[in-house]
Chain A
Amino acid sequence: MARPPDTDGGLTAYLDALVGEITAGRQPPATSVAKLGRRDFIKLSGLAGGGLVLGFSLKTPTARATTGKNELVFNAYLQITPAGDIVIMAPNPEIGQGVKTALPMIVAEELDVRWNDVRVMQSPIDADAFGRQFAGGSRSIPDNWQILRRAGASARAMLVAAAAARWGKSAGELETMDSRVIHRTSGQSAGYGELAEAAARQSPPDNVRLKDRKDFRLLGRRIPGVDNRAIVTGQALFGIDQSPNNLSYAVYHKCPSVGGKVVSANLDHIKTLNGIQDAFILEGNGNPGELKPGIAIVADSTWAALKARDALQVQWDTSTAAADDWDALAARAAELSSKPPQQIVTERGDVAQAVRDPSNKARESYYTHHFVAHAPMEPQNAAAWHSDGRIEIWSGTQTPGRAISAVAALLGIDSKNVHLHQLRAGGGFGRRLINDPVCEAAAIAQRIGGSVKLQWTREDDMANDFFRVGGFHAMKGAVNSAGELVAFEDHLITFSENGTDPVSGGALRPAGYPENACANSRLAHSMLPLGIQCGPWRAPGSNTTAWAQQSFLGELAAAAGRDQLEFLIETLQSITSPVPGGVDKNRAIATVKLAASRAGWGRNEGKGRGMGVAFYYSHMGHVAQVADISVDASKRLTVHKVTVAADVGPIVNLSGAEAMIQGAVVDALSTMAGQAIGFKSGVISPLNFDQYPLLRIRHTPEVEVHFIESDNEPTGLGEPGLPPLAPAVGNAIFAASGIRPRTLPLSREGYVLA
């Protein structure tokens, strides 16, 4: 079944380390507030043309962990020229989550600049100068929130100090607004550009006062994306658009079964074909997340490479390749579901006893979710230029720092000889956390000693994805005679690549709910061996656990004969022993109540129509959703409207935040409705959009978004909006039809979107 452990490349450990890095800051960074008094901003000198350049830095545990040194690390900077140009660096990769706009807005707020005066630049990728730069785990906003605010406030304080000195006033008499320092009583004012030189001679303040949320002028407003104009006019923004000089084009052909090796191929014939420069075998480096074995075809054009590939004849050695078969695994999962779990994740009380207790009403259900692919619209690609022991990379990676170290190790060169140009990514969703296309392009560029653009086809992208793992939730639960939740068990039959840990995204990660909402609960795993590669997919784990657990709570509400909403709120209210960094029941209940009231919960809309509610906490975000749907006897499903209430702390960019929720609802419905990746003898299908349906505009429901803003630490919105949708729709289908869907995608139970 699975590849033997000695050839597995340690993918689980590799991805665990990667995800661990990303989520290192998961706990709310309460300590960063206490650090406000320390001087941690550094003026940078040497700006051509003069003016104020402010680097800012923070001694953080994560920075130390990354660099291994207890030293100041620049995280980003802003620049104000005497001409009044204000440049703010956006430090993190933009993959569609809006951080290239949102992060500079945070600086701009405290700096009190007019947003139209600001030019945003993607910062270079440089761990020494900018610290950790990645897009993942919805971490960009929470990791940068305090740092960027203090940067803006420090620069503002220096500009104010410069004006105070010039006018002989005290700083306390001065105000700032719209990129100007103002002395209200005398009517004096000066633009930031005029003050930039003098501000640069000021010392960065030891301590700055940050604005109260009520005084925000920019944050919370709707600001269009800074790249919008370039996007709508077709500029070369993306990784796929880059063309280094003297470019060759390449494709890289890998075994249809993951892990297969090349024995031989008709390379001599391939090299004779029109437009083909070279064709060769690469052995791979043993890490499927970096370089798998395959055949590179290097050509004068993408099309020549693709055509030559059609003529490839390869003999594969599949003795070490994945040989998984979904149907066989599903049958074994069903057997495991009735046996004691292999791993207990968390346990309290005695579920078995509560389920047996004749005074309780007990339920058991079995939920199945299939594997799915990331399928970002931009298929994987990378460009690389190798020359004199140095390499330049062009990529829309989510983890540029990792890409640099991986390429350095792969090519046997120092990482200072790897330069990565960070490009906008045509969708990430977790796929671009893994840098296999970058490593492939680098290896090909080194081999040919030149520049190459590697292009994956859509089929390559699907076949070589790191999938969202499928799984099987064997649920047990009970309510007492008062209709209260007394027992809850989720026995997840998941997959393991190494025999000891679930694959990436395949573990239950308790955050306090619902396992701490009743006296008897158990979360547990059993594992099946797997060779298919899995990886983080938008809200890993949460994206399917939310569906199974919140659907099953809906089943228990029905068993108790109670209103789903009332039951949901009661279970949240019953949480004891909250998990640090986990769900906050008051914030949770507030989102549920808000979503329900805005959706008009309790309206009787007639036969075949119903509402369902679900709540989930992921990536520090509390989100409740109510789905309003119709379903007929032939399972034709229409999702009319989804009402969302989210508490992610303060909102940075209202337009971007709403977009993330709207997009998450569409993505979740898309995935829930019809997407499934199957595999037989380790071979993946389907491989393109003709059989892997993405939601289309016609089936897009109305989405109403409400935010509960607070002074809690903010979190990002790339992920938390997605998990509640599937259970909200599932609960609504039950409310409308009395039928409980227990399979994702719904198409496997015969549902079609109408």
Chain B
Amino acid sequence: MANYSLTINNRRYDVANVEPDTPILWILRDTLGLVGTKYGCGIAECGACTIHLNDSPARACSLPISAVSGMRITTIEGLSDGDVLHPLQQSWIDNDVPQCGYCQAGQIMAAAALLNRNPTPTDEEIDTAMEGNLCRCGTYHRIRQSIRDVANANRKKGGKSWPDHLTPMED
């Protein structure tokens, strides 16, 4: 058993007395009550648990807490700025993407990580970035359209994709 200090959504959490091999997914869900990150397969095959580690996409179900301590973690709960939604979240609503909705947090986190490094992806780049996220309901058409819409808006803005407060620190 060990203690960890985590930075999640720009907030510090102290997690006491957990096994070092506990996947960060279960720390988020069971220990911290951040249940937006979903359990789907446990083997990093479905993408329902996608979070950001230092702004890059990662599968929370397969990352032990010992490996992520000290990294900047972002979950779906931290993607919006209070009531101001991330452009992708708004686009997801506008395109009425969700059916059951279970995979969508992971989908949005994967898409946000894509726009983070490439604000104006092509369809091919969208397909490549989103390949690891499964949707059993089959909402892929609208997922693609939602990302396209934000990418197109970014093109009009000259390639800027992020609200200032969410500008990634890397690069």
Which residues on A are within 8 Å of B, measured CB to CB?
95-98, 222-225, 227-229, 231-238, 240-241, 243, 249, 274-275, 301-304, 307, 375-379, 424-429, 455, 457-458, 655-656, 659-660, 662-667, 670, 688-690, 694-698, 700, 702-703
Residue ID in chain B nearest A301 by CB atoms: B30
Of the candidates B26, B35, B137, the one whose C-beta lies within 8 Å of that of A96 is B137
Provide the residues of chain A in CB contact with B7, threshold 8 Å.
none
Bound form: Cα–Cα A234–B26 in Å: 15
Instruction: Tell me whether A667 and B96 are in contact (CB under 8 A).
Output: no
Provide the residues of chain B in CB contact with A660, threshold 8 Å.
99
Instruction: Tell me whether A377 and B134 are in contact (CB under 8 A).
Output: yes
Q: A663-B139, A666-B140 are in contact. Are A238 and B102 (CB under 8 A)?
A: yes
Instruction: Tell me whether A233 and B85 are in contact (CB under 8 A).
Output: yes
Bound form: Cα–Cα A25–B26 in Å: 43
Give 23 pairs: A residue, B residue, CB < 8 Å, sorted on A: A96-B101, A228-B96, A228-B97, A232-B104, A233-B76, A233-B85, A234-B36, A237-B101, A301-B22, A303-B23, A307-B19, A376-B102, A377-B102, A377-B134, A378-B38, A426-B101, A458-B42, A662-B141, A667-B136, A688-B42, A688-B43, A694-B136, A700-B141
Measured CB to CB, the closest approach of chain A to B133, in angstroms, equals 7
Chain A contact surface mostly: loop
Nearest 3 A/B pairs, CB to CB: A234-B36, A666-B138, A96-B100
Residue ID in chain A nearest B98 by CB atoms: A231
Instruction: Tell me whether B36 and A233 are in contact (CB under 8 A).
Output: yes
Bound form: Cα–Cα A425–B19 in Å: 30
Of the candidates A249, A304, A426, the one whose C-beta lies within 8 Å of that of B102 is A426
Residue ID in chain A nearest B91 by CB atoms: A232
Is B48 on the interface with A (CB-CB < 8 A)?
yes
Measured CB to CB, the closest approach of chain A to B107, in angstroms, equals 9
Seed contacts A232-B89, A376-B136, A377-B40; 10 additional CB < 8 Å A-B pairs: A225-B101, A227-B98, A229-B93, A231-B101, A233-B77, A243-B33, A274-B1, A301-B22, A377-B135, A696-B131
Is B144 on the interface with A (CB-CB < 8 A)?
yes
Q: A427-B100, A427-B137, A700-B140 are in contact. Are A235 and B31 (CB under 8 A)?
A: no
Measured CB to CB, the closest approach of chain B to A136, in angstroms, equals 15
Instruction: Tell me whether A235 and B22 are in contact (CB under 8 A).
Output: no
Instruction: Tell me whether B85 and A232 are in contact (CB under 8 A).
Output: yes
Instruction: Tell me whether B35 and A241 are in contact (CB under 8 A).
Output: yes
Residue ID in chain A nearest B77 by CB atoms: A234
Measured CB to CB, the closest approach of chain B to A299, in angstroms, equals 10
Instruction: Tell me whether B105 and A232 are in contact (CB under 8 A).
Output: yes
Instruction: Tell me whether B26 and A697 are in contact (CB under 8 A).
Output: no
Provide the residues of chain A in CB contact with B103, threshold 8 Å.
377, 426
Bound form: Cα–Cα A236–B92 in Å: 18
Q: Mark B36-76, 1 if CB is under 8 A from A, else 0.
A: 11111111011010000000000000000000000000011
Q: A233-B76, A236-B35, A426-B101 are in contact. Are A457 and B19 (CB under 8 A)?
A: no
Instruction: Tell me whether B19 and A698 are in contact (CB under 8 A).
Output: no
Of the candidates B26, B75, B92, B135, the one whose C-beta lies within 8 Å of that of A232 is B92
Bound form: Cα–Cα A670–B96 in Å: 22
Instruction: Tell me whether A377 and B38 are in contact (CB under 8 A).
Output: yes
- B36, B85, B133: residue with the most chain A Cβ atoms closer than 10 Å: B36
Bound form: Cα–Cα A695–B104 in Å: 16
Bound form: Cα–Cα A554–B135 in Å: 31
Provide the residues of chain B in CB contact with A455, threshold 8 Å.
39
Instruction: Tell me whether A378 and B102 are in contact (CB under 8 A).
Output: yes
Q: A234-B75, A303-B30 are in contact. Are A228 and B1 (CB under 8 A)?
A: no
Residue ID in chain B nearest A654 by CB atoms: B96
Bound form: Cα–Cα A428–B85 in Å: 29
Instruction: Tell me whether B80 and A233 are in contact (CB under 8 A).
Output: yes
Provide the residues of chain B in CB contact with A664, threshold 8 Å.
138
Q: Mark B137-162, 1 if CB is under 8 A from A, else 0.
A: 11111111000000000000000000
Is B108 on the interface with A (CB-CB < 8 A)?
yes
Provide the residues of chain B in CB contact with A231, threshold 8 Å.
92, 98, 101, 104-105
Q: A301-B30, A455-B39 are in contact. Are A697 and B127 (CB under 8 A)?
A: yes
Measured CB to CB, the closest approach of chain A to B125, in angstroms, equals 11
Measured CB to CB, the closest approach of chain A to B28, in angstroms, equals 10
Provide the residues of chain B in CB contact with A98, threshold 8 Å.
99
Bound form: Cα–Cα A688–B77 in Å: 27
Residue ID in chain A nearest B35 by CB atoms: A241
Bound form: Cα–Cα A249–B33 in Å: 14
Provide the residues of chain A in CB contact with B79, threshold 8 Å.
233
Is B94 on the interface with A (CB-CB < 8 A)?
yes
Provide the residues of chain A in CB contact with B98, threshold 8 Å.
96, 225, 227-228, 231-232
Bound form: Cα–Cα A303–B45 in Å: 19
Residue ID in chain A nearest B93 by CB atoms: A228
Of the candidates A224, A227, A662, A702, the one whose C-beta lies within 8 Å of that of B94 is A224
Measured CB to CB, the closest approach of chain B to A693, in angstroms, equals 9
Is B113 on the interface with A (CB-CB < 8 A)?
no
Provide the residues of chain B in CB contact with A670, threshold 8 Å.
138
Is B130 on the interface with A (CB-CB < 8 A)?
yes
Measured CB to CB, the closest approach of chain A to B111, in angstroms, equals 11
Provide the residues of chain B in CB contact with A694, threshold 8 Å.
46, 134-136
Measured CB to CB, the closest approach of chain A to B94, in angstroms, equals 7
Bound form: Cα–Cα A663–B136 in Å: 8
Instruction: Tell me whether B137 and A302 are in contact (CB under 8 A).
Output: no
Provide the residues of chain B in CB contact with A303, threshold 8 Å.
19, 22-23, 26, 30
Of the candidates A225, A688, A697, the one whose C-beta lies within 8 Å of that of B133 is A697
